[in-house]
A and B are shown apart, each in its own frame.
Chain A
Amino acid sequence: MNTETKQILTSDGIPLEQSLKKAERINKIKAFLLVAPLLLFLLITYIFPIGEMFSRSIDDKMITNMLPKTFKAMESWDGQELPSEEVFESFLIDYQVLIDAKIQGKLTQRLNKEKNGFNSILKKLKRKMKKFEDGNYKEQVLSVHKRFKDVAYWRAIKRTAPPYSVAKYLKAVDMFEDENGNYVQVEEKRRIYKKLWIRTFEVAFFVTIFCFLMGYPIAHLLATIPMKYSNLLMICVLLPFWTSLLVRTASWMILLQQQGLVNDFFVLIGLVADNNRPEMMYNKVGTYVAMSQILLPFMVLPLYSVMKTVSPSLMRAGKSLGGTPFVSFWKIYFPLTVSGIGAGSLLVFILAVGYYITPELVGGASGKLISNQIAYHMKQTLDWSFASAMGLMLLCGVMAIYWVYNKLVGIDNIKLG
């Protein structure tokens, strides 16, 4: 048997296989064109910004290009004593170039971020160096300000030499690279980020638990009572969901503050003394309460849609086969709703990990999360590369949770409805 005889031709003489492939290819292109806008959208709004964030978090090229001579002269410097005359001279040359181009301010800002105190001494240097005499630059620079005699400032300049650096990632876990290239912890009173990472995941975890404990009975009630009541209840769930986040957070502030309604009520019924009102806001309690309420619909809705599909006859069958209500719930009903629990928990957890405005408003100092620090560095210190690094770490954390979840429960088992 040879292949010639097996080949089937279409009516216009082209082999069927080829013709089919062609038709399929056209379909594939059509399908691709249909999703192309979405793909493009994802690329522009998702992949590209994340890439941009990553490059921003490690990119330190600007200063590398600003002080080329200085960094070259510094290569042989060991960082122990003050650098040599050559370094000082190169630095003055580089600095003069920047002044002539009127961009010396950017160098000032960058170096001041690396080590505080650069801002004023570089400005002073700019004023004084106009009158510098030739030669003996080291002595002249040192006489400008006592901080120039501090080796730490020159080490800071050397640290900025490489075009790329992972310093921001180290900083996000309270570490830095010392002169010998070792990664060491920052001094104790400056440690903050590790604590906040743990707190962020802790808050997200407990908010998820609270939402589950409150949301499960609600969803069950919604799914089982007659339609006319359940619609009304559904509106009770959805109405806050449609209300602005800020409005809901602000209402919690009115309720929870020390002179607020809840405390007034406690005092009225004699639960607490008037001068000893408990603090329920501007701390972690406030963050927990407000976030649990705000995220509750994200738990209730997937649970409800899954429970709606569970036939009531299953429970009846379980009971008629001799199971107690608890056993039939645990063995039949609960396993059928696991996919909804998974979806709800994942939604709530991921939203909670990145929550910003609610902890900012009701969290006080002890209820602040890592996202508040990201905002702080975006807004206050303008250290956007550090904010990017933390943002990416948060993203990776969420992806890790997603991965673990996928291994444990399986992502295919998630049902949103």
Chain B
Amino acid sequence: MKKLSKLLLALSFVLSITSSAFAVTVVSWGGAYTNSQKLGYGDPTAKKLGIPVNWVDYSGGLSEITAQKEAGAITWDIIDVYAMDTINGCDEGLFVEFDFDKDFGPGSDGVKASDDFFAPMPSACAVGNILYSWTYAYNHDTIGKKKPTSIKDFFNTKKFPGKRGIYGSAMTNLEMALQAEGVNVGKGNGLVYRKLEAEGGVTRAMDKIKALCEDPDGGCVFWSGGAKPPELLVSGEVVMTTGWNGRFFNAIMDGAPLTQVWDGQGLDYQYMVVVEGGPNQADAMKVIKEMMSTDGLAGSAKHIAYAPFRKSSLAVIAKGEPWYKDGKTNMLPEMPSSKKNTKKYFLVDAQYWADNKTEIGEQWEAMKAALK
């Protein structure tokens, strides 16, 4: 008996070592999003390649990976990051630079990777994952008779009194504020960034948000995690809040009484990177190749309303509609890139934010700290 237990102990020890040595750790934003990635391409990839894939949650930013690198104990292999962070992390040498067409396979229709992905990458370390959107939503049960329809309504406290949920950093908030000030973003014409770069542009946008937050009929609740906006709306803490369209979509599918407003939405890409010197770099390259394949990306869209980065994946979805996991909902009209959702939008400018994040961030923090 004793021998047996000793043997078991030794065996489990060996197993634990080998399994952790084989596993590739993928870090993402948690909640419904990570779930869509895990079910959509994480698990299938692990099954196909025989490499276990672990999922870890984080809330964005490069601090953890920088700390791991400095301490010489890197535990992450693949990270899901903002575009500006692929730029900054690539500069710092944190991530692997891809040889794009070699590291990623062609689409299912044979088009080579660099042509199949529908936008150029912001840095040599990035591979596109999804196209998502910064929209705002309201609770249609409690908002009253009048319903908000435009981005200006988000800032209109006379017509729609009540608190607003606002993203905790300046990114996308300033762009939305300037639209309320009358800047017409058209179909991603970039005008809003030229206005921000102009003298006093940032201050003007920030004053708009400050006014909204200090308005006795308004007020702000700042959110940082993607699960928070639907929760704020359902609990009645705010009347409207900005958020990520996929999280709103999933909350609606789960029965929450929410409606999204697409006017003036911010289209943004989300990227994956491989950590340079990660614990399992060779396997990580295989895993990311498989996950970012046509079927992999299309798979994740079965679970959340984010558009896959490959044209070939969109074609797969179009063919397979209704694509949502419930088997009834058509996915393409819910995507941020669909025609009805892109009447007026801005494209989040990663290079602008990589350039200006620090100084705008300081002013933003000062504005927040001085709120009454």
Which listed residue (B66, B92, B359, B367) contacts A105, Cβ 8 A? B92
Tell me whether B130 is interfacial, beta carbon within 8 Å.
no
Chain B residues within 8 Å of A103, by CB: 93
Show 13 residue pairs from A and B whose CB-CB distance is below 8 angstroms, ordered by the A residue. Answer: A105-B93, A112-B358, A120-B354, A189-B203, A192-B366, A192-B370, A196-B369, A259-B235, A364-B221, A365-B220, A365-B369, A380-B63, A380-B361
Tell me whether A113 is interfacial, beta carbon within 8 Å.
yes
Listed stretches B83-91, B251-259, B262-270, B315-323; interface member: B83-91
B365 engages A192 (CB within 8 Å):
yes
B203 engages A105 (CB within 8 Å):
no
B63 engages A378 (CB within 8 Å):
yes
Name the residue of chain A whose CB is nearest to the CB of B353.
A119
Give Cα A118 to B360, complex, Å.
14
A105 engages B91 (CB within 8 Å):
yes
Tell me whether B356 is interfacial, beta carbon within 8 Å.
yes
Chain B residues within 8 Å of A259, by CB: 235-237
Scoring A106, A112, A119, A191 by chain B CB atoms within 10 A of each residue's CB, the highest score goes to A119
Which listed residue (A104, A116, A364) contacts B355, Cβ 8 A? A116
B372 engages A108 (CB within 8 Å):
no
Which listed residue (A102, A113, A279, A373) contacts B358, Cβ 8 A? A113
Tell me whether A368 is interfacial, beta carbon within 8 Å.
yes
Chain B residues within 8 Å of A258, by CB: 163, 236-237
Name the residue of chain B whose CB is nearest to the CB of A375.
B63
- Tell me how far the C-beta of B157 lies from the nearest C-beta in chain A, rounded to whole angstroms: 15
8 Å CB interface, B114-160 against A: none
Chain A residues within 8 Å of B61, by CB: 379-380, 382
- Tell me how far the C-beta of A384 lies from the nearest C-beta in chain B, rounded to whole angstroms: 8
Name the residue of chain B whose CB is nearest to the CB of A259.
B236
Give Cα A191 to B63, complex, Å.
25
Tell me whether A224 is interfacial, beta carbon within 8 Å.
no
Chain A residues within 8 Å of B112, by CB: none
Contact A365 to B368, CB < 8 A, known contacts A189-B363, A380-B169:
yes
Chain A positions 90 through 124: 1 when the CB is less than 8 Å from some CB of chain B, otherwise 0: 00000000000011111011001100111110000
Tell me whether B62 is interfacial, beta carbon within 8 Å.
yes
Tell me whether B351 is interfacial, beta carbon within 8 Å.
yes
Tell me whether A136 is interfacial, beta carbon within 8 Å.
no
B358 engages A120 (CB within 8 Å):
no
Tell me whether A190 is interfacial, beta carbon within 8 Å.
yes
Which B residues have a C-beta under 8 Å from some C-beta of A? 61-63, 66, 87-88, 90-93, 163, 169, 203, 213, 219-222, 235-237, 351, 354-363, 365-372
Q: 5 other contacts beyond A102-B93, A192-B370, with CB at 8 A cut-off?
A: A105-B93, A189-B363, A195-B370, A364-B222, A382-B61
Tell me whether A60 is interfacial, beta carbon within 8 Å.
no
Give Cα A385 to B267, complex, Å.
34
Give Cα A116 to B360, complex, Å.
9
Give Cα A72 to B171, complex, Å.
38
Chain A residues within 8 Å of B358, by CB: 112-113, 116, 381, 383
Give Cα A259 to B356, complex, Å.
38
- Tell me how far the C-beta of B256 lies from the nearest C-beta in chain A, rounded to whole angstroms: 15
Contact A106 to B371, CB < 8 A, known contacts A112-B355, A116-B355, A117-B355:
no
Scoring B91, B355, B363 by chain A CB atoms within 10 A of each residue's CB, the highest score goes to B91
Tell me whether A19 is interfacial, beta carbon within 8 Å.
no
- Tell me how far the C-beta of B239 lies from the nearest C-beta in chain A, rounded to whole angstroms: 11
- Tell me how far the C-beta of A118 lies from the nearest C-beta in chain B, rounded to whole angstroms: 8
Tell me whether A371 is interfacial, beta carbon within 8 Å.
no
8 Å CB interface, A344-368 against B: 364-366, 368
Name the residue of chain A whose CB is nearest to the CB of B213.
A365
Chain A positions 382 through 409: 1 when the CB is less than 8 Å from some CB of chain B, otherwise 0: 1100000000000000000000000000
B62 engages A382 (CB within 8 Å):
yes
Chain A positions 275 through 308: 1 when the CB is less than 8 Å from some CB of chain B, otherwise 0: 0000100100000000000000000000000000
A382 engages B369 (CB within 8 Å):
no
Tell me whether A376 is interfacial, beta carbon within 8 Å.
yes
Name the residue of chain A whose CB is nearest to the CB of B371.
A365
The 9 closest A-B CB pairs, nearest first, are A105-B91, A192-B366, A116-B359, A365-B368, A379-B63, A259-B236, A365-B371, A119-B355, A116-B356
Tell me whether A257 is interfacial, beta carbon within 8 Å.
yes
Chain A residues within 8 Å of B371, by CB: 365-366
Which listed residue (A108, A117, A195, A381) contacts B369, Cβ 8 A? A195
Chain B residues within 8 Å of A116, by CB: 355-360
Contact A106 to B92, CB < 8 A, known contacts A112-B355, A379-B61, A382-B66:
yes
Give Cα A366 to B66, complex, Å.
30
